[in-house]
Structure 1
Amino acid sequence: MTTPRPTWLRRRRAALAAAGLLLAAAAPQAATAQSLRIGAGAPATSLDPHFHNNGPNNALTMHLFDRLVERDARARPQPALAEGWTQISDTVWEFRLRRGVAWHDGRPFTADDVLFSFERAPLVPNSPGGFGAFLRMVARAEAVDPHTLRIHTRQPHPLLPVDLGSVSIVSRHAGTGAGTEDYNSGRAAIGTGPYRLGEYRPGTVAVLLRNEAWWGGAEPWARVEYRFLANDTARTAALLAGDVDVIDQIPSSDLARLKRDPKVTVSEIASLRTMFIAPVHSIAGNSPQATDNAGRPLPQNPFRDLRVRQALSLAIQRDALVERVMEGAAQPTAQWLPEGAFGHNPAVRPTPFDPDRARALLAEAGYPEGFRLTLTTPNDRWPNDARLTQAVAQMWTRIGVRTTVEALPYSAFVPRRTRQEFLVQMAAWGSSTGEAINYLVSIAGTADRSRLTGAANMWGWSDPQLDAMTAEASATLDDAAREALLRRAVAHYVATTPYIQLLQLTNSWGLRRGLVHDPRMDERTVAMGIRPAP
């Protein structure tokens, strides 16, 4: 008996077909021999799908592993390994698991694998930012039978299906006793996803081979070569030369040129990713990265003073960043979601440019002559990250905070960021769930392993009032009431300015003519959204 495809997959394929994204049904044999070459702007750091909750890792590993719930290109939850779910009570959910699903090695997928994944995901050693936040409300889970899972939440939690869209399911038989290195080597990288692993060379390339037995139906690409091309110029050149078929993170300086090129198609969508400046709050005393104008370390961390954070925000010309650095591929913002997303507060506008008020606030905080500062950034992770940081540094210097930029490759930046070696840095976050709680819990929430909050809060911010607002919203079942609570939390966040919000990005991809693409708001570049044109 053929396993029925889930509604989301039927809808996705119907939508892709309507946009010209599916192969013509009369030519299935042509699809079986096709290969796809992707040039990704940011390298994945691991094939362990529970190691690091960041965009490049999630994009690559979702080829190999599935989730109970999938999120489509517009971040809407859809059935996947769970073909459906029912809320039995305010705190009990039952998930019906898909039958006939096999791991890449042929062994059957069961509810026991989900239990193992829930146990493993929050506890991966040395994770620089894990997935525990998505399971924070799970009090316990039980396998009623091999294809029925019952989840008990700690309190009413209407976003459980949305949260589970971030937790990859790994097999107990391959994952027991396996560490992150075993996934990177391929030994434990056995999923249920549309592709299986052919080869992985960290920082260079991953080769993915079609899973002919995928429960969702075989993909058109027999082989996907997923290359990591961090250099912007090299990535664009590779597309124009035909060395790759698709690139992401189109450099803003190349965007207009690629749109005019008849050999290239550009795909764009509003992003769920926001760029912001993140100061470390947990350092109370002095730091060599913040000194007076004579080079002596300041007696205390200036960022612990709200007036300093507000002053630096007022010193930034966000419109100029959009126009001159991002060349239109972003929008100024004071929050972390684009307009129309659940929890976006339309009453909160971007912080206005007011250098006089900024200087006055610095003087009130005890810095009438300003101070010297080092601002750190990766130079190969986000679009124009180093250029954006340099522009902000120049704006801060004009109000008396003489700022030097330290730019590092992302591979060197991450471990130092994890050790809190930077007093202030460029940062970014993509709310892949498409709603406001994801950021509030992971980035702005107090880091607390017992409550699984603040998993990606590497800067020590803690605001009990904001935590309480987040908890109340998370437990509110009524959608309208929950959104009203989230809008209050957004306004409180802006008033306290834990981080300095800059821009909401626009995601862009370049494709060789003859391919069509379903762009994702979560910016992930996946072969499953790319099709030969009919």
Structure 2
Amino acid sequence: MRPTSLALLLAAASALPAAAQTLTMGAGAPSTSLDPHFFNAAPNASVASHLFSRLVERDAQVRPQPGLAQSWRAVSDTVWEFKLRPGVKWHDGRDFTADDVVFTFERAPNVPNSPGGFGGFLRMVERVEVVDPLTLRIHTKAPHPLLPVDLSYIFIVSRHIGQGATTDDYNSGRAAIGTGPYRLRANMAGERVEFERNDTYWGPREPWARATWRVIANDSARTAALLAGDVDLIDQVPSSDLERLRRESRVALHQIQGLRMIYLQADFSRDGNLPGITDNAGQPIATNPFRDVRVRRALSIGINRPALTERVMEGTAEPSGQWLPPGVYSYNPAVPPPAFDPDGARRLLAEAGFPQGFRVTLTSPNDRYPNDARTAQAVAQMWTRIGIRTEIQALPWSSFSARASRQEFAMRLAGWGSSTGEASYAAINIIGTYNREQRRGASNAGRYSNPTMDALVDRATTILDDGERERVLQDVIKVAMDDMAVIPLFHLVNTWATRRGITYEARMDESTRAMAARAAP
């Protein structure tokens, strides 16, 4: 979005007729809950960002910005002081205070039945000291320079509403009382969430009196809805429609290099008899083939990544060999995308004791990421050619995410956006050894474990010097990728399409939110 003063934005908004002060967003994936601590997934965060605020917010380039905290500073190596914003009100009119932050930190890591929670962001917090109602001192277990970044992922909820409230209470709207720019009007799970402007919001006044976050999972239906004027903007623009939309005078496109890696994750949770794994005769395999790094490497080099990005993604993704894209802090240039080598893959399988290969079911969502099921199908064809006879199981996101968290899949396609803009986020949450007490591995559905990598992450996140920390984080990437902790495929380019007359500030964290949309000046 071009730089525009707040005055001009407000003038543009006030010039709109009443009907134009509503915004309808067409989202490609559903939010699974209005509980902002239930599931660390991008659609959930997109919806929650309308209702709730965080101590530290993030701009479109994921840089930390003041939120409910006006300022913060390191008092010592292990103590951070946060000055809270005065005059902030909850949607029910009560005052926001430091005690709400204390309650949030207690609640966020401990939500029952969470398929992937927020404990990793608070794992370094030892205790929270309330100096006064608007001053907090957060004591960490060791020096932790990334604390403000971590806190930009924790939505703050109130103690007076949240004490004793369940996830169902948030979903029903009873507990969905935040300090965000919008209030909840209605929630139709899996279909739409309706908002109305919060006129007592602590930040800039929103131009949209009402906003709707509408789920349109089908790609062609999402594009059709935009062209028909049923929605004002859509996310996850289908790659097959990009050229058509570029030529369409009624539509504008908004793009940015994304941080989301699409990857494959094997199950490491058991020794053998994995669901969806058999020998070529259809009999269970007594040992888990994925625990042999040679098998994992064979699967990786058996994938033609340039073919995936060119033919399946149609130029809307870049091949990757790690979980960060080039140009991001702690990206390791020594870990390029693996070269396609089907002959080498067959040799590795033979060395691992599978000269004839085996059968596997690759499970993928079919409504979460751009071309997710199509990508899985293309990988299946490539693996079948190297001797791994692969079948696809494609599921709706709501079912996929719940079952993946229960380790029901031998191999799954998933996505992870490193929206902290550095390597530790993924290393702690999707690759780190699963440990609830240490608040590590909350989204590690495959239960991969590498103590050497864990120790490097722990060391890196205590280093105050940015250059030295980056070098250790690059070592983290090298250790994890040498061991094929996950199999990266590519990084997405994030794309939104809007009707003419609306601009959208494209975000690296792929968040779809009314606050990024404005009437064109």
Which bin holds the TM-score, normalised by the shorter protein?
Answer: over 0.9
2:206 corresponds to: 219
Q: Map of 1:54-203 to 2, 5 A cutoff?
A: 54-203=41-190
2:14 corresponds to: 29
Q: Deviations over 1:453-506 (max 9, x none)?
A: 111111111100000110010000000000010111111111100111100111
1:412 corresponds to: 399
CA distance in 2, matches of 1:28, 1:398: 57
1:254 corresponds to: 241
2:421 corresponds to: 434
Which one of 372, 389, 397 corresponds to residue 384 of structure 2?
A: 397
Q: Map of 1:455-470 to 2, 5 A cutoff?
A: 455-470=442-457
CA distance in 1, matches of 2:286, 2:14: 71
* AA aligned opposite 2:208: W
Which one of 333, 337, 350 corresponds to residue 320 of structure 2?
A: 333
* Change beyond 3 A, Cα 1:420–1:24: closer
1:528 corresponds to: 515
* Change beyond 3 A, Cα 1:95–1:31: farther
2:504 corresponds to: 517
**Larger deviation, residues 146-155 vs 336-345:** 336-345
Contact kept in structure 2, 1:23 and 1:31, CA below 8 Å = no
* Change beyond 3 A, Cα 1:113–1:220: same
Residue 23 of structure 1: CA displacement? 4.4
SS in 2 for 1:484: helix
* Change beyond 3 A, Cα 1:274–1:29: same
**Larger deviation, residues 82-91 vs 22-31:** 22-31
The runs of at least 4 consecutive aligned structure 1 residues that moved more than 3 Å come to 19-28
Residue 419 of structure 1: CA displacement? 1.5
1:480 corresponds to: 467
* Change beyond 3 A, Cα 1:284–1:306: same
1:238 corresponds to: 225
SS in 2 for 1:392: helix
Alignment gaps of 5+ in structure 2:
none
* Change beyond 3 A, Cα 1:19–1:256: farther
Residue 283 of structure 1: CA displacement? 1.6
SS in 2 for 1:342: coil
2:255 corresponds to: 268
1:10 corresponds to: none
1:205 corresponds to: 192
Q: Deviations over 1:22-46 (max 9, x none)?
A: 8455455335830000000000011
How high is the sequence identity, in percent, across the aligned residues? Answer: 59
Which one of 336, 339, 346 corresponds to residue 359 of structure 1?
A: 346
* Change beyond 3 A, Cα 1:127–1:342: same
CA distance in 2, matches of 1:489, 1:177: 39
SS in 2 for 1:374: strand
SS in 2 for 1:199: strand
Which one of 229, 236, 256 corresponds to residue 216 of structure 2?
A: 229
Contact kept in structure 2, 1:220 and 1:531, CA below 8 Å = yes
SS in 2 for 1:63: helix
Q: Deviations over 1:375-409 (max 9, x none)?
A: 11111110000000000000000011111111111
Which one of 353, 358, 362 corresponds to residue 371 of structure 1?
A: 358
Alignment gaps of 5+ in structure 1:
1-15
Contact kept in structure 2, 1:195 and 1:208, CA below 8 Å = yes
1:284 corresponds to: 271
2:438 corresponds to: 451
Contact kept in structure 2, 1:23 and 1:531, CA below 8 Å = no
Q: Deviations over 1:57-114 (max 9, x none)?
A: 0000011000000011101001110000111100001100000110011111000000
SS in 2 for 1:404: strand
* AA aligned opposite 2:328: A
CA distance in 1, matches of 2:12, 2:301: 58
CA distance in 1, matches of 2:429, 2:17: 41
* Change beyond 3 A, Cα 1:328–1:142: same
Contact kept in structure 1, 2:255 and 2:506, CA below 8 Å = yes
Residue 20 of structure 1: CA displacement? 9.2
SS in 2 for 1:189: coil
Contact kept in structure 2, 1:23 and 1:533, CA below 8 Å = no
Contact kept in structure 1, 2:55 and 2:156, CA below 8 Å = yes
**In the alignment, structure 1 residue 18 sits paired with structure 2 residue 40:** no
* Change beyond 3 A, Cα 1:78–1:288: closer
Contact kept in structure 2, 1:140 and 1:153, CA below 8 Å = yes
**Larger deviation, residues 154-163 vs 210-219:** 210-219
**In the alignment, structure 1 residue 311 sits paired with structure 2 residue 298:** yes
CA distance in 2, matches of 1:88, 1:356: 57
CA distance in 1, matches of 2:275, 2:155: 41
* AA aligned opposite 1:402: R
- TM-score relative to the length of structure 1: 0.96
Residue 217 of structure 1: CA displacement? 2.3
* AA aligned opposite 2:483: T
Q: Deviations over 1:334-380 (max 9, x none)?
A: 11111111111122110000111100000000001111111111111
Report the aligned-residue RMSD: 1.3
* Change beyond 3 A, Cα 1:362–1:84: same
